[in-house]
Amino acid sequence: MINHVIRYGAEVEAARNSGAPIVALESTIISHGLPRPANLRVAQEIEATVRAAGAVPATIGMIAGEIVVGLSGDEIKHLAERDDVVKLSVRDLAPAAAARVDGATTVAATSAIAVRAGIAVFATGGLGGVHRGAATTFDESADLTALSRLPIAIVCAGVKSILDVHATLERLETLGVSVVGYGTRRFPGFYLTDAGFDLDWSADDPAAVAEIIRAAQGHDLHHGALVVANPLPVDEQLDPALHDRVLHEGLEGLEREGITGKDVTPYLLSHFHTATEGKSLDVNVRIILRNADLAARIAAAI
Ligand code: PSU
Ligand code: MN
């Protein structure tokens, strides 16, 4: 069904016809994850990075209720600049389509659409996961359950460090999501190079990741995602002491202002951007661009 309501951008349509490598990109990071006006420039840089590394970018979102794979420059600008853009997880797609809204897709929703569109590789910043305090709030990102059933390789810098990383890794294990460190056996911590946990598997170049993807396709035993966890170099990470202080303040702010549900992640990211005077923004941008570059090289290697 969904195939009938996906509109493909011209460049993505041509790549689908010629078999050129395509990288899926999400739009929530643009609308809700990065501050204006930097968000628009970064969205354009992400696409340019994918192209420079030899693949076609497919930024995914919703325009007037229509799912678009390969948003145009004007559509990306629209999602970056408007206040009424809705953050769309998987469960929001149908009501949002019926209401003809303009929306930005999360990792969960973008992955679901990308798999329908036959795209095998997706780049983002950091995955959603289990929030701190989830034992009582039950706040766990739908990214996790989406990745448990979607065969897509997702290049990220681990899960966002605002989360309970240990609990998230446990859930990824339960949900059957493969996790491979890129050039490392340590799980990255988004703003931080190392979240403090070991990984069982690593891959050292795009060809090695492509081989894992081919093995999964060949086995056809399990339809979960492959997380390719790509850490920032240590000299590019956010200062860990600054990180911990700002995170602590942010978590207190959540409590004080009664922020819950889908507003939690945007609130914490925005708090970081303000409280670090843009340092976390620079780090976040580096993360995304590095992941976009790697995703394109993996897509080209498959
Ligand atoms: N990575 C980033 N910035 C972001 C996100 C990921 O560097 O803003 C977004 C993704 O769209 C992810 C979402 O799916 O945050 C998670 O939100 P939640 O915790 O409400 O599921
Ligand atoms: Mn949540």
Strand partners, 41: none
Structural domain span for residue 66: 1-119
Distance CA 193, CA 237 (A): 6
Verify that 156 and 260 share a domain, yes or no.
yes
Q: What is the pLDDT of residue 253?
A: 96
Q: Write the pLDDT tens digit of every residue in 275-295.
A: 999 999 999 999 999 999 999
Same domain, 88 and 233: no
> For 24-83, what is each residue's pLDDT tens digit?
999 999 999 999 999 999 999 999 999 999 999 999 999 999 999 999 999 999 999 999
User: 242 and 273, same structural domain?
Assistant: yes
Average confidence (pLDDT) over 132-144? 94
- Distance between CA atoms of residues 154 and 179, nearest Å: 10
- Tell me: do 131 and 178 sit in the same domain: yes
pLDDT at 226: 98
Q: Which of 184, 179, 183, 182 is nearest to 227 (CA)?
A: 179
95 in the same domain as 13: yes
CA distances from 199 to 24, 41, 166, 203, 208 (A): 25, 34, 12, 11, 16
Mutational test site, ligand 1, from 34, 107, 260, 268, max ligand atoms within 8 Å of CB: 107
Answer yes or no: do 110 and 134 share one domain: no
- Burial of 215 per CB tally in 10 Å (0-12, 13-18, 19+): exposed
Same domain, 7 and 67: yes
Tens digit of each residue's pLDDT (9 = 90 or more) over 221-242: 888 999 999 999 999 999 999 9
Q: What percent of the chain has pLDDT over 70?
A: 99
Protein residue with least CA distance to atom 9, ligand 1: 29
Number of domains forming the structure of the chain = 2
- What confidence score (pLDDT) does residue 222 get? 80
Helix H, strand E, coil C: the string for the chain is CHHHHEEECHHHHHHHHHCCCEEEECCHHHHHHCCCCHHHHHHHHHHHHHHHCCCEEEEEEEECCEEEECCCHHHHHHHHHCCCCEEECHHHHHHHHHCCCCEEECHHHHHHHHHHCCCCEEECCCECCEECCHHHHCCECHHHHHHHHCCCEEEECEECCCECHHHHHHHHHHCCCEEEEECCCECCECCECCCCCECCCEECCHHHHHHHHHHHHHHCCCCCCEEEECCCCHHHCCCHHHHHHHHHHHHHHHHHHCCCHHHHHHHHHHHHHHHCCCHHHHHHHHHHHHHHHHHHHHHHHC
Of 119, 149, 176, which marks where a domain is finished? 119
Q: Supply the pLDDT for residue 2.
A: 46
My answer on whether 186 and 209 are in the same domain is: yes
Q: State which of 84, 119, 154 marks the end of a domain.
A: 119
User: What CATH number corresponds to the domain at position 203?
Assistant: 3.40.1790.10
User: What radius of gyration do the chain's Cα atoms show?
Assistant: 18
247, 108: one domain: no
60 with 141, same domain: the answer is: no
- pLDDT exceeds cutoff 80 at 4: no
- Read off the tokens for 207: 């060809």
- Pocket residues: Cβ below 6 A from ligand 1: 26, 28-29, 32-33, 106-108, 124-126, 128, 141-143, 262, 265, 269, 284
- Tell me the average pLDDT of the chain: 96
Would the pLDDT of 3 be above 70? no
Domain final position from 119, 151, 176: 119
Catalytic residue numbers? 26, 160
* Amino acid found at 101: V
* Nearest CA, atom 16, ligand 1: 128
Residue 153 has pLDDT above 50, yes or no: yes
Q: Which two tokens stand for residue 15?
A: 């790549």
Residues 83 and 198 in one domain: no
* % of the chain exceeding 90 in pLDDT: 95
40 and 146, same domain (yes or no): no
Q: For ligand 1, atom 5, which residue shows the shortest CA distance? A: 29
Question: What integer pLDDT is reported at residue 1 of this predicted model?
Answer: 43
